[in-house]
Structure 1
């Protein structure tokens, strides 16, 4: 027969022999105590030093290129109307295939037509054509009105009269470059005009060769 113990009723054995008190826990001497790591202080931001002003590089570029003599050309194209502008950035890029390039400001009045044109005209001006160069650099005028002499050339491109030489190019690329676009064209036609010295742009004005 197995005895059962009712935990809810005191038994004679439990009352006759009182339970010993649980031993108290005494920490031994020199026992390590828990320590709380100090919270590091938030770093203090160093004062911001002012950035020294750099050179006026746009102004530097303009001042340097005032000393650079450049040939003068007029670029033409045809959309709903003929457009053209004076350029001093004409460059021969390659001979095989024959490529030229020039820059045009994307805020210029000619850009909307040049941005879509398949072909462009390139005209090398003679030193006697400073008035023509100034006319195609002026805003708010009809650059193809009298006294400008011109005709419709190959591929419908306007070709100016009396220039030293002219070319017609097929546009093969337009490369964004800051506030300009570099247009690259492959030459498909062209011709020569009268012999003469080229018109130059130097020190902010049109001039000729000095011998």
Structure 2
């Protein structure tokens, strides 16, 4: 029932990235939340079964990328199990603190995890914002009824 109800809840789409053992990792998240302004904190959920969990569990810093409506393919790539998420056409660079930063996003943050709280089969990661860039262009990508979409004008 929970999944059926939340399919009806529109959510913004983010990609969370981390580096681990010299490799970039990342996944699509619709659970991103602003937690606090002072200090600046965000949170997101990640399944403990996710291939990215070991990287996020050990990461000193993570990247949080807000996707634009033009990036539904990027969101799908980072949601796809077994995909080489950082291979072309994904454009990225190493950002502050060595965090993989995706190009062309609406905005991005670099955050330091301060808590990884068990929550059922997931962990809720609370992270303090240390850097970022809100200057990207575009309107936000949304997730609703199992599909990526855009805001109506």
TM-score, structure 1 normalization: 0.71
Supply the distance in 2 between the matched residues of 1:91 and 1:71 (Cα, whole angstroms).
10
Please say if 1:183 is aligned against 2:125. yes
Q: What does residue 115 of structure 2 align with?
A: 173
Q: Following TM superposition, by how much is the alpha carbon of 1:141 offset from its aligned partner in structure 2, in angstroms?
A: 1.5
Q: What does residue 25 of structure 1 align with?
A: none
Q: Following TM superposition, by how much is the alpha carbon of 1:100 offset from its aligned partner in structure 2, in angstroms?
A: 0.1
For the aligned residue pairs, the C-alpha RMSD in angstroms reads 0.7
Q: What does residue 66 of structure 1 align with?
A: 7
Q: Following TM superposition, by how much is the alpha carbon of 1:113 offset from its aligned partner in structure 2, in angstroms?
A: 0.8
Q: What does residue 105 of structure 1 align with?
A: 47
Q: What does residue 195 of structure 1 align with?
A: 137
Supply the distance in 2 between the matched residues of 1:96 and 1:113 (Cα, whole angstroms).
27
Whichever structure has more strand as a proportion of its residues is 2
Q: Following TM superposition, by how much is the alpha carbon of 1:140 offset from its aligned partner in structure 2, in angstroms?
A: 1.0
Number of corresponding residues: 152
Instruction: State which structure, 1 or 2, has the greater radius of gyration over its C-alpha atoms.
Output: 1
Please say if 1:91 is aligned against 2:33. yes
Supply the distance in 1 between the matched residues of 2:95 and 2:67 (Cα, whole angstroms).
17
Could you list the runs of 5+ residues in structure 1 that have no partner in the other structure?
A: 1-59
User: Which of the residues 50, 61, 65 maps onto 1:123?
Assistant: 65
Structure 1 stretches of at least 4 aligned residues deviating more than 6 Å after TM superposition: none
User: Which of the residues 102, 125, 135 maps onto 1:160?
Assistant: 102
Could you list the runs of 5+ residues in structure 2 that have no partner in the other structure?
A: none
Supply the distance in 1 between the matched residues of 2:85 and 2:5 (Cα, whole angstroms).
30
